[in-house]
Structure 1
Amino acid sequence: MSHMHGEEDGEADDRTAARTPLPAGSRVVVAGASGLIGSALTRSLTADGHEVVRLVRRAPRGPGEVRWDPEAGRVDTAGLVGCAALVNLAGAGVASRRWTEAYRERIRNSRVLGTRTLAEAVAALDEPPSVFVNGSAIGYYGWTGDRAVDESAAPGEGFLPSLVVEWEAATSAAREAGVRTVFARTGLVVARGGGAWGPLFPLFTAGLGGRMGDGSQYWSFISLYDEVAALRHLIGTPSLSGPVNLTAPAPLTNREITAAMGRVLHRPTLFTVPASVLRLVLGGLSGDVLGSTRALPTRLLESGFTFQYPEIEEAVRAALR
């Protein structure tokens, strides 16, 4: 998919040259470093010799930790001094429990208030980081059915789209201070350790996997490896700001993904989970599982990013390794 962008004319070389990898030993501040994506990103940066500073809600246990209270609007700004990049992946888990009214409020506050806290802290620094990568979600687009959308599309209707609009707007202090700000609109991350995909692996391994509802809904997936590589690409690509979809190039229907999971795990996928059962078990999240968002990574590909695992079977195999 990425080689459709005319590499014969030398354009690719320019795009690759436009990347400025982090100087060796750079300080990167990560909020949400203990989560699925945050811990993988932290491992990747540390392995390359960068210094990762984790934002924590408890008393720091060492020099690599800085305290913050996202909802009270407090962060120890001294710990942010000298950082080259700030990556915010913090927020109450969207997939972790039923969406009661109270939990919706918690999801909202943890993302919107936490983002505002960091944006204001960054704006107050004498020497702010060169980039603020703020986690976001393809939930922005809402239900698109089989219509493909990219970053040029308008927000959808409902709780998640309105949440994402507010969440991205909460970065305004950083943007107004001239900090390059990127919204990493992540899709469904294919990983065993958590996220939307975590519960699917044991289910399919037990031979209980199957399509959900009628299976026609699109799932915009991305392997955990590509998610981390894409976040690092956002940090290192000065031309990128605003929304960038972090999803593999070819989203698939739930039916196609179910079949691929069955093939890789060598298990039958005969079960069908009726929509009514999913609504009962998942509450508000059932909209995500039954809803259809067909998001394309237009800006990521145009900026020269190459996917390591663009196909679902490769992504599932990578998650099993």
Structure 2
Amino acid sequence: MQTRQPPRSAHDLRLPIFPTPRRSGAGFKPEHLADILADTRKVGFFEVHAENYMGDGGPPHAMLDRLRNDYPIFLHGVAMSIGGEAPLDKEHLRRFRRLVDRYEPHVVSEHLAWSTHDTAYYNDLLPVPYTKAVLGRVVDHIDEAQNALGRPLLLENPSTYVAFTGSEMSETDFIREIARRSGCGLLLDVNNVLVSATNHSFSPQQYLADFPLHLVREIHLAGHATEEDDDGNPLLIDSHDRPVTADVWALYERVIAELGPVPTLIEWDNDVPAWSVLKAEADAADAILSRHAGDAYPELRRAG
């Protein structure tokens, strides 16, 4: 006699299981939804800022529910203040966990930065000194966040405009030790590498050679603005308001040549263009991924 299986819940039925998207994705913008749904050539995934969906309902969730039926969703946090001195906000973690449970994201990520002090919240991602004391605090915070969310985190390398004279180790050594002690994965933002390298006069190629690439589970690409500091030297701003530059594409191809295909997000958060423009950036990333895919990833050949 055949054993009757218990019925699947409505929650299970509305959340398809997708394989790891070894392709490009895009940051979801609500104004793009109609064009996304009409597009016959899909991107690999969409990523959203978790803080934009921490309300209980309304149009934002209706749109994300619709998108989740057709695409993997990645959640990217921007306000956890992993590097801050204060304890993590437990209410923030609770609301984040509700999103994880609701959308079952493929990836959950946060920044190596801080944005809170006492009761103040700063609308920026501020750098930390690379010291043993800060390292221990960051590891503790990641442990707490991973336990609260029930998921591993990916930690993103920062874009920085100042450096601390009190730092005791390099950024790459700091990040490597965080990952070793916390078990988190890494999100490599290639634009951040170029921004920081230019602002602090070090080699982005050497940074990537020192970076623990084997722990990278996602890559971000974005555009930056070029300004000048008080001495007339180039100052790059991680503005997310224009196409990816040729220098960033070249660094990205170097990484993919070593790693093979890794889910790659195009970030464009300000002066957001039409979907066709953002999709063209994603297509350019897919072309690079496809060149280094070999025969292991037929979905990239189809995308190309």
Q: Provide TM-score, normalisation by structure 1.
A: 0.32
Name which structure has the greater RCO, CA cutoff 8 Å, separation 6+: 1
